[in-house]
Amino acid sequence: MTKEKQTDYRILGRVIAAALPHKKLFILSTVLAILLAPVSTISPYLVKTMVDEHILVGDMPGLYKMAALFVVVLLINVAMRYFFIYAISDLGQSVVKDLRIKVFSHLLSLRLRYFDNTPIGASTTRTINDIQAINEVFTQGVITIVADLLAVFTVIGIMFYTSWRLTLISLVTLPFLLWATYIFKEKVKVSYQKVRTQLSNMNSFLQERISGIRIVQIFNAQDKELQKFKKINRDYTTANLDSVFYYAIFFPVVELISAFSLALMVWLGAKSYLQDYVTLGALVAFPLYLDLLFRPVRMAADKFNTLQMGLVAAERVFKIIDNKEQIPNQGTIKPEKLKGDIDFKKVWFAYDEENFVIKDLSFQLHHGETLAIVGSTGSGKSTIINILNRFYDIQRGDILLDGHPIKDYEINSLRNRIAIVLQDVFLFHGSIYENITLRDESISMEKVIEASKMIGAHDFFERLPGSYDFVVTERGNNLSVGQRQLISFVRALVFEPDILILDEATSSIDTETEALVQYAIEKLISKRTSIIIAHRLSTIRHAQKIMVMDQGQMVEMGTHDELLALETGKYKELYEMQFDDHPLNA
């Protein structure tokens, strides 16, 4: 057995295992598949019996009884097929529902490095399109294939029982049909794989361009992006047309083979009837048998390919589920409140495990103190926040929080006690209240209003239509950058953090708005340990400690006045660049 086949069987086993929580539906579908095989083949045999034993001998009462039995069998067949189709569809959708929840839950737990390296569109395709394709494994895949195989063997058995001569005549063309089916299956398999790949490419492209539509329009790149999309769309269309081409060839060929088999059976069967080798009833029933025989064989290739594509999609989905790129969450400390003492001890960190962006960093921050971090772009300021919140794990050194290594804290409990206000604010579609509370029902409207008043945002919210019920569009596009920043600031406050982090939090706020929040910021940071990353040095003059970063290393540490007193300091250089028209002690 090839490695590819082993992989397919392993994935198929996992897909079937995903159906075990719904074993009643699985058992019902399997039982109906087994029962449908003999029930579907009874009708032609009843036709033969009616012709040979009732019509030819003029037994009308018996014919009526057989006709009634034929109708009953037909109705039973229809009812069983209805419940079979509904059961496998219900089973497939139930598995899909469970897998979507499982995949999304796993995505939420993955470390940020995964999202740094994986296009959003690819993850979206896995969660929606690929999981939906797994549904086909049940509705058009393994169970229906089993049902079709049982039907084929049952039909062949009854055909031999009815007339071995007509059966052998009918099966003459079967090898040609199987050969054509195999070629079709292999060709369509390749084309389907191209379709899935091109679909993922298209989703990734659209996700990225629609998210960055402002940049596209600002730099007038619409025509260039349109040309790129046309090429991706053309490749996707070509992949689909390739599969259509094989279908357009295969089904006419199958019809030709089936027609030839029927003609051969009628021609040789008529001779056998005239020679009394077969009965007239068998001759009448065999076209019905042929239809029952060739129909599942004709559809087998399509169903095998559907199964194969479902397994390809399942493999992609399971790769996400099997992805171990998670922050280990083995900590047991779950504090209801933190004191806020932070201690970095010889910390080294690299995003790619090789190129260190934090190098031998050591500093201490005590409860209630405010640390301001400054430095040029790429100096490692925001990285300090990422590793403090354990979005990434460090390679060397230790980070202590209240005297305990941060790895000893349960991650969710750790992050519940730290609030971050980022420069790039992300808002979800929903009301202002929902964006502030993130749908946490434990946070009341009164608490939100209180926090809004503390930073002077309440009047702004009150002026909007609907006040706190004002609906924010996707990514907050119907609000200004400064307004979005205010919402994110209130969002941080309502969770009552013990450690507050402001990452360029006032960089997008205008001077008037900044004046409103500056007092609130100073009031808040006086009650808790705070870290402020800022390019505006005017906002950090009163911080107890200012740390200057350069190329991942701390080059200076001190108060505003101490750092300005240095003759050739980095902080002094940055300060003079911003305030070169003012005295240094302004």
pLDDT per residue as tens digits for the range 455-477: 778 888 888 888 888 888 877 77
The CB density around residue 261, as the number of other CB atoms within 10 Å, is: 22
- Asked if pLDDT for residue 161 goes beyond 60, the answer is yes
Among 411, 420, 419, smallest CA distance to 391 is for 411
Q: Does domain 3-321 have CATH number 1.20.1560.10?
A: yes
pLDDT-derived band at 120 (thresholds 50, 70, 90) equals confident
Strand, coil or helix: 495: coil
Query: Which alpha helices (DSSP H) does 51-140 contain, by range?
Result: 60-109, 112-117, 120-125, 131-139
pLDDT tens per residue, range 355-372: 899 999 999 999 888 899
- Asked if pLDDT for residue 501 goes beyond 70, the answer is yes
Averaged over 511-533, what is the pLDDT? 72
Among 203, 242, 328, 273, smallest CA distance to 48 is for 273
pLDDT-derived band at 520 (thresholds 50, 70, 90) equals low
What distance in Å separates the CA atoms of residue 260 and residue 407, rounded to the nearest whole number?
73
Averaged over 320-340, what is the pLDDT? 86
User: What are the tokens at 167?
Assistant: 């059966």
* Higher per-residue confidence, 583 vs 15: 15
pLDDT at residue 585, as a whole number: 41
pLDDT at residue 173, as a whole number: 81
Strand, coil or helix: 386: helix
pLDDT at residue 258, as a whole number: 80
What distance in Å separates the CA atoms of residue 501 and residue 388, rounded to the nearest whole number?
10
Strand, coil or helix: 537: helix
Averaged over 280-293, what is the pLDDT? 82
**Which DSSP helix (H) or strand (E) runs through 419?**
strand 418-421
- Asked if pLDDT for residue 402 goes beyond 50, the answer is yes
pLDDT at residue 508, as a whole number: 60
| Half-sphere exposure of residue 92: CA atoms within 13 angstroms, side-chain side | 23
Round the average pLDDT of the chain to a whole number and report it. Answer: 82
pLDDT-derived band at 207 (thresholds 50, 70, 90) equals confident
What distance in Å separates the CA atoms of residue 306 and residue 92, rounded to the nearest whole number?
14
Q: Which range (70-79, 247-256, 339-348, 499-508) has the least confidence?
A: 499-508
pLDDT at residue 343, as a whole number: 94
- Hey, what amino acid is at 245? F
pLDDT tens per residue, range 226-273: 898 999 998 888 888 887 888 788 888 888 888 888 888 788 777 777
* Structural contact between residues 528 and 500, judged by C-beta atoms closer than 8 angstroms: yes
- Asked if pLDDT for residue 555 goes beyond 70, the answer is yes
pLDDT at residue 38, as a whole number: 84
pLDDT at residue 3, as a whole number: 64
pLDDT at residue 583, as a whole number: 45
pLDDT at residue 506, as a whole number: 65
What distance in Å separates the CA atoms of residue 414 and residue 333, rounded to the nearest whole number?
9
pLDDT at residue 316, as a whole number: 82
Q: What pTM was estimated for this model as a whole?
A: 0.70
What distance in Å separates the CA atoms of residue 251 and residue 231, rounded to the nearest whole number?
30
What distance in Å separates the CA atoms of residue 532 and residue 32, rounded to the nearest whole number?
66
| Half-sphere exposure of residue 483: CA atoms within 13 angstroms, side-chain side | 16
Strand, coil or helix: 480: coil
pLDDT at residue 7, as a whole number: 67
Query: 431: which residues sit within 8 A by CB, 6+ positions away?
Result: 466, 468, 469, 470, 471, 472
pLDDT-derived band at 400 (thresholds 50, 70, 90) equals very high
Averaged over 541-554, what is the pLDDT? 87
pLDDT at residue 304, as a whole number: 74
Structure-token match 């100096």, residue found = 379
Averaged over 324-331, what is the pLDDT? 82
Q: Which range (6-10, 365-369, 450-454) has the least confidence?
A: 6-10
What residues does each domain of the chain span?
3-321, 333-417+529-579
* Higher per-residue confidence, 7 vs 335: 335
Burial 54-90 (b: 16+ CB within 10 A, else e): bbeeeeeeebeebeeebeebeeebeebeeebeebbeb
pLDDT at residue 318, as a whole number: 87
Query: 8: which residues sit within 8 A by CB, 6+ positions away?
Result: 308, 311
Q: Which fold has domain 333-417+529-579?
A: Rossmann fold (3.40.50)
pLDDT-derived band at 582 (thresholds 50, 70, 90) equals very low
